Amino acid sequence: GEGRTAHVTIDGVRIERTGENPGAAFSVASGGLDLVIEGENSLTSTFGHAGLRNGENPLAISGQGSLFAEGGGAAGIGGDRKQNGSNITIAGGTVTAVGDEPGAGIGGGFMSSGSNITITGGVVTARGGKFGAGIGGSYGYDLTGNSANVTITGGEVTAIGGYGSAGIGGGYWGFCSNVVIEGGRVTAQGGERAAGIGGGEGGGGNDIVITGGTVTATGGEWAAGVGGGFNGDGGDMVISGG
């Protein structure tokens, strides 16, 4: 229910939706979810749905186990097709999120944004589908595939963008703002013509702050490691440590 938080532990759970039984494998329909992962778990959804769908409902993931979440034409963790993926916190566990064309690994589904995403610990791998960021937005030709307020303070994070999409930031034609990295080990690989951290193809990357941690950011062809994608601006970047 709205204004309430469910506390759920999964341990050795495998949910795979099929064409005969379509939908999201796991959905936060209302309110918030505090999800603890133990053992090995996997969530696979059919076309149009995120593997672990929260939309903009608060989602916190912790624990000592592993979670594999794969969307179908949507985000691995975050939004369904044409749904934003926001208010996501990962504090522990081994989390692998795979978006399917054109969804982000963690963040928005098709033509949607990813925002307010925080990683404080764990081993996190986020891979965007074609036109989707590893962490952030998805395909955004109408300026919807943006990313804002991504914070990493710890853990080991690998973010790989799909074609035209940032490792951390905007999807294809998506913009990026307010990325803060304070600690941890971060590897961000942009897809072709997209920044490692920043904008997707045609999108800018602004307000990027690195104060600590070990950061490797590699842009695709004709794009910045940190900043703008191809034909996109980069600005207001501060690196003061790490």
Q: Using one digit for the tens of pLDDT, what is the confidence trace for 71-87?
A: 999 999 999 999 999 99
pLDDT at residue 144 in the model = 62
pLDDT at residue 99 in the model = 97
pLDDT at residue 58 in the model = 98
- Neighbour tally for 239: CB within 10 Å: 12
pLDDT at 8 over 70: yes
pLDDT at residue 106 in the model = 98
Q: What is the pTM of this model?
A: 0.97
pLDDT at 193 over 70: yes
Banded pLDDT at 13 (limits 50, 70, 90): very high
Phi, psi of 114 (to 5 degrees): -125, 125
Banded pLDDT at 240 (limits 50, 70, 90): very high
Q: Give residue-wise pLDDT tens across range 137-190.
A: 999 766 667 888 999 999 999 999 999 999 999 999 999 999 999 999 999 999
pLDDT at residue 140 in the model = 79
Banded pLDDT at 19 (limits 50, 70, 90): confident
Q: What single letter denotes the amino acid at residue 138? A: S
pLDDT at 119 over 70: yes
Q: Can you tell me the mean pLDDT for 43-50?
A: 97
Return the closest-CA partner of residue 112 out of 150, 168, 74: 74
Locate all alpha helices (DSSP H) within the chain, ordered by sequence. none
Task: Give strand pairing partners of 43.
Answer: 15, 69
Per the CB < 8 A criterion, the answer to whether 194 and 224 are in contact is no
